[in-house]
Structure 1
Amino acid sequence: MYVRLHSNGSGPVAVNAKRQVAMPIHQAEETVIAIAMAMFLILAAMAAWLLLFPSARDDAHEWLRSVIRKLRTSIGRASAKAATQAGDSSRATRVASQRTVGMLWRYRWSLLAAAMLLGLPPLIVLLVRHDSVHLASFETGYTDPVGNPQILELLNGERLVPPPALPPEVFVIAEAERQQLDRVAAELVPDKIVSADRRWDAIDPAFQQRVLVIYALMKQRGYDMALVEGYRSPARQAELAAAGKATRAKAGQSCHQYGLAVDSAILKDGKLQWNMNDDWVREGYFLYGELAEQAGLSWGGNWRSIKDYVHVEAKTACRDARRRAGHG
């Protein structure tokens, strides 16, 4: 079974479809947790019943005595029969059995308490384990933690679909306007965005979903977001680093080259918004950064040197990718 993807033309869209990934394991965990909860509730109900109703304790005590009595009688009969057939060795077995039953009966409450104490820790682990899982479904193996319950719920839900591509003219106009912006706003605009790669399928799938969740939450707050640049080739990275404006990372050092970074811009009335002197725009980029951090990503606006307000990356996954590529 595969996930069917759909877009309504305005942003990431969740689609009702069955997933093929990780569902059997997820359902098995839920079944085990349900069984553990049922057992815990039964034991708790029995304990409360015995503690609150003295007559229930008496009845339970009498029932246990009856069971033990019948058990001892059965064992005695079996032992007597065996003794008749086997002599002294069988009589010894009967005596040992009677002693065992007597010991079990004598320490019955201690044994019951010990069994409950031994059973509670595994039950508690099973009950809380589901809440401690940060990633599910298509995010299996992604390790950056999520600190926002709403983001976690969306990641564990239906797969989001990237918004449709914007017309190239949007980026041509934005690059032309870059020359007219003040220094802060000009630094906000990625360099040479007309030729930037905006293919969503070139971005790491798990990272892509986190970015789309951020886009969805931004839209709920009244901000439309647009992808300005995703994957970046080593040659383009070297060119931008040589210019020294948008980045200082050399080829192989940027998370863009591993599909683990994106530059995004606020979109309003068909135009990319860069003016950080505008309160609405500034609040939007800081909200973007706040949601990125809550989604387990790193925001360029928190960097000490170059403030890259449009940039977010999967820092942990990127570090591992660089190390595997020999650029760690």
Structure 2
Amino acid sequence: MIIFIFSCFLLLVIGSAFLMSAELRLTVINMFKALISKSKRTFMSAKQFANEMNTAASPEQIQSHWHLQQWWILIAGAVLFSSILLLAFTQPITASKMEADYLKKADPQIYAMLNGEMLDAPPEVDENLVQDAINEALALENSINTSVISAENIAPAYPNILTDDGAFEAHSHSDLSNADRKWHKMNPRFKQRLLMVIKTMREQHGYEMVLLEGYRSPQRQNSLATNINTTRARGYQSYHQFGLAADIAFKRNGKVVISERDPWAMRGYQLYGQVAESVGLTWGGRWKSIQDYGHTEYRMPGLVKTKEMADKLTSEGQLQASNFQ
């Protein structure tokens, strides 16, 4: 409002001075005449130059107007260069595009399966929903008389696992409170496969899925390994440390369902395993020992389980995310 009042006052002052001073009016009129005259001369010069340029472009004028034809070359080059710059700076560069470029080089197989279209990760599941699912699963377990527990009759959501490479792996309900559910910490080669599975489960089978744990730090892995009933896999022995494994559950009527004692969930796990294997993932429900139905991992060919390799694979996903934070 203050700016508007000041602008009106300034215009009033200038208008009053213009009306009251004949000398000022004459000066302004002469300035406009000079400006018009100069603009007219400039326009005529530009028109003459344009006519000469147009004439110089004809094949008949190669000898006489060769110096002007060089301008056409410069103009064409400038237009081409400007078009390249315009395309480079206006084309949107997104995390999905970066991930597509990465997969095109690093994993042509999954890139071909996706037809170059990267899938977006779903929102992170609410921590309270996970805790409610844990409590419900534990209540189901406690309601069953298990006075004598053996490896053959245990069927929790995340039992002890003997993987095909000899490392024991497991997931306990109580251990999910500190689980990492950040999608960008998973390697794109695994993440896009898992997202394909989730999309197929939703569209073809009507199951909504949530991520319970993806990347797991070696420190957390070693902490879990202190309890042999949870896991015997130490840091860098699990595919979680490489961003190549995940544990999932289902979502029904707004609630997370973990327990395999739920027939609906158990059917979902079986379908999940079939779909996961169809895109090259290893499903924990297929293991010869006690199965882990919610677990999938990508056994990347040539993988060497070292700290350096874990840092490399997990950084490939985090680097893309950091560019858009």
Q: For residue 163 of structure 1, what is the aligned residue in structure 2?
A: 122
Give the SS at the match of 2:231. Answer: coil
Deviations 1:95-133 (A, max 9, x none): xxxxxxxxxxxxxxxxxxxxxxxxxxxxxxxxxxxxxxx
Q: TM-score, normalised by structure 1?
A: 0.53
Compute the displacement of 1:308 (Å): 1.0
Check the 8 A contact 1:3/1:20 in 2, yes or no: no
CA contact (8 A) 2:218 2:236 kept: yes
C-alpha distance in 2 between matches for 1:280 and 1:139: 37
Alignment check: 8 A CA contact 1:139 1:206 kept: no
Q: Are 1:142 and 2:107 an aligned pair?
A: yes
Aligned amino acid, residue 139 of structure 2: Q
Report how far residue 305 of structure 1 moved: 2.4
Say if 1:179 and 1:186, in contact at 8 Å, map to a contact too. no
Check 1:321–1:271 CA distance in 2 against 1; reply closer, same or farther (3 A cut): farther
Displacement of 1:156 in angstroms is: 2.2
| 1:263 alignment partner in structure 2 | 247
The Cα shift of 1:21 comes to 5.5
Deviation at 1:141, TM superposition (A): 2.2
* Alpha-carbon distance change, 152 to 306 in structure 1, aligned in 2, over 3 angstroms: farther
Equivalent residue letter for 1:243? N
Cα deviation, 1:220-277, whole Å, max 9, x if unaligned, reads 1100000000010112111222222343311110000111101011111222223334
RMSD over aligned CA atoms reads 2.9
Structure 1 portions without partners, runs of 5+: 6-14, 23-136
Runs of 4+ in 1 over 6 A off after TM superposition: none
Q: Distance in 1 between matches of 2:104 and 2:284?
A: 23
Alignment of 1:1-328 (within 5 A): 1-2=91-92, 4=94, 138-142=103-107, 153=113, 155-182=114-141, 183-187=154-158, 190-191=172-173, 192-220=175-203, 221-317=205-301, 320-322=303-305, 325=308
Distance 1:244 1:152, change over 3 A: farther
| Aligned mates of 1:225, 1:163 — CA distance in 2 | 9
Deviations 1:285-321 (A, max 9, x none): 011111111111101111122311111111125x614
Cα gap change, 1:3 to 1:208, in 2 (>3 Å): farther
CA contact (8 A) 2:244 2:298 kept: yes
Consecutive unaligned residues in structure 2, runs of 5 or more: 1-90, 142-153, 160-170, 311-325
With structure 2 as the length reference, what TM-score do the two structures score? 0.53
